[in-house]
Amino acid sequence: MNSVNIGMIGLGNVGSGVWRVLEKKKEEANSFPWNVLEIKKIGVRDVRKERQVKVPASLLTQDIDSIINSPHIDVIVEVAGGRDEGFKIISRAINAGKHVVTANKDVIASYGLELFRLARSKGVKIYFEASVGAGIPIIRVLREDLVANSIQEIRAILNGTSNYILTRMSENGEDFGTALGMAQRLGYAEPNPDNDVKGVDAAYKITILSSIAFNTSVSPDDIYVEGIDTVSIRDIEYAHELGYEIKSLAIARKHNDGLELRVHPTMIPRTSMLAAVRGVYNGIYIVGDAVGPMMFYGRGAGSLPTASAVVSDLCDLVRSLKDGSDGQFEVPVLDNIPIRPIEKLETRYYIRLNVPDRPGVLAGIAMVFGNLGISIASVVQKEVPDTKGQAELVIITHTAQEGPFRQAISQMDRLDVVNKVESTLRIEGVVEE
């Protein structure tokens, strides 16, 4: 077949990685599909900017429209980022009759269904493996390899920045601010890290995975989200003492009455596979009705891992064009599955309270829980360092519903036997004695 001409929009970390991978493969293997992939133009904001890779100046342009509308370009690789700008680029490319490969999770999560349907109407294809998990081929696994399964649940560490911060807090005893500062110095966190540490990035990714896994339409607005910025080193110390690790988990579960979708810091047993995912790595745990539990692990971000997925999509596109197959993917909305409100969540809880060190404290707290049908599994009480007459109370509950638990916390805030509710965390899994 003739060459497949690529117009790439963006030459930052990911775009530079795509250039490196393609150039290396062309040197190593002058065979299909590498011998037909050719980057013809690259759209950038500033052609004079110094770059990570040496690219012929003739390939660079600030005129994005000239790339999208060129009759000589077959596919647009969108690696510029940004939700609204990315959507404009991709929709314009589709309307111009171009196939699209993108790493933009924000766009796919927010506008995916609209774009897939537009692409179908225009007879072009969209590939987006790099939007979740970077080099981990999780989207292809869900779309193809696990198609015979009804997916029961997904539990995943999907943000390398948050995982790096929590790992430093766990292993080095650093507080959140110190660990975040190190992540920023190493380039793992942006100067404004909110999307990572507040769970927004992971929410986009679990939106995409849930849509595919459960054959339904999921919006980022459907995901309950909490960040890791409230996690204290004290919580991590207690978690270790109790046999747990704290991770930011993205969780999607299918119930008879709807989907449970949430992202938040979570206590998990230190013996679990996800607890062993350290640093900037991602881990994705999936349960299918036929295959049972499966675990996927790897770098979830970075120039070359993300580029690996982008180039893999390009190869899939080339093969589908060669054999005439329809590689287009559209989320098959078989059912509009309702989203369960977070108040219906049933799980175990960790609560850390600052209380007066006097008799009757636990009885008052136990009464609040008891009145709302919440059973206490364990209690740890310690003196608060450098204080007089104060104690720290850590309570683990048995399984309870989120709604009554929130009521309990609200009532405790008003008790004269509670100085302050310091923190609460949800628990996934039980530590084996």
Q: Which residues are catalytic?
A: 205
DSSP string of 282-303?
Answer: EEEEEEETTTEEEEEEEE-SSH
Whole-angstrom distance, CA of residue 60 vs CA of residue 53: 12
Q: Which residues contact 365 (CB under 8 A, 6 or more apart)?
A: 353, 355, 393, 395, 412, 415, 417, 418
Cis peptide before 137 (omega within 30 of 0): no
Q: Give the closest residue to 143 by CA, choosing from 107, 112, 118, 110.
A: 112
- The phi, psi pair for 299, rounded to 5°, reads -70, 125
Two tokens at 209?
């995975």
Question: How many CB atoms are located within 10 Å of the residue 372 CB?
Answer: 16
Coil, strand or helix: which one is 345? coil
Pairing, β 37-43 against β 75-78: unpaired
